[in-house]
């Protein structure tokens, strides 16, 4: 008898809580796409949010334009190598023509980390096509990884993981 009473009390409490929940669309607030000026404010465009990236020297040129000469289209391997070499020249102070290609190939990465996972970050667990580029400046080698868009980025040696080998790729 006592357990039946407890079950009825729990069931009653759940019904009361369920009745209090409001699923109507009337409570939905729509936010306009454009900022709306309130009384006393001007309707000027808001300032750009601050970012960690330095502003480009040419305001009409975004940071992606530096790495992607094809304006929105994925880079091919040759363009990715050129972008990686340019980045390494800036990063190391070595002239671009003194930087040699140790390896450059189209690869499949094991996840959205593109073979360069950051501690504590979460990534898609899906195979991602991209590029693996190793450049040599002096006696040091530098790894550059890229995903579907072909945008190469420097991956520190401590984090750099190899792509799937051709014999590891799943067959369709």
pLDDT in tens, 144-170: 999 999 899 999 999 999 999 755 666
Residue 71 and residue 50: Cα distance in Å, rounded? 24
Return the structure tokens found at 157.
């040696």
Report whether pLDDT(26) > 50.
no
The pTM assigned to this predicted structure is 0.56
How many CA atoms does the CB half-sphere of 44 hold within 13 Å?
A: 6
Q: Model confidence over 102-155: pLDDT tens digits? A: 999 999 999 999 999 999 999 999 999 999 999 999 899 999 999 999 899 999
Return the structure tokens found at 166.
């051709």
């Amino acid at each position: 008898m006592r357990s039946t009473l407890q079950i009825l009390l729990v069931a009653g409490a759940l019904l009361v809580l369920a009745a209090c929940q409001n699923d109507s669309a009337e409570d939905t607030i729509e936010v306009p796409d454009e900022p709306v000026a309130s009384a006393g404010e001007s309707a000027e465009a808001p300032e750009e949010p601050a970012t960690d990236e330095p502003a480009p020297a040419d305001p009409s040129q975004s940071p992606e334009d530096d790495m992607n000469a094809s304006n929105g289209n994925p880079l091919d391997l040759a363009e990715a190598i050129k972008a990686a070499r340019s980045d390494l020249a800036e990063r190391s102070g070595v002239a671009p023509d003194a930087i040699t290609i140790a390896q450059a190939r189209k690869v499949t990465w094991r996840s959205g980390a593109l073979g360069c996972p950051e501690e504590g970050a979460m990534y898609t667990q899906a195979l991602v096509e991209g590029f693996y580029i190793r450049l040599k400046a002096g006696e040091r080698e530098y790894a550059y990884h890229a995903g579907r868009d072909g945008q190469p980025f420097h991956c520190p040696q401590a984090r750099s993981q190899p792509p799937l080998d051709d014999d590891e790729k799943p067959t369709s």
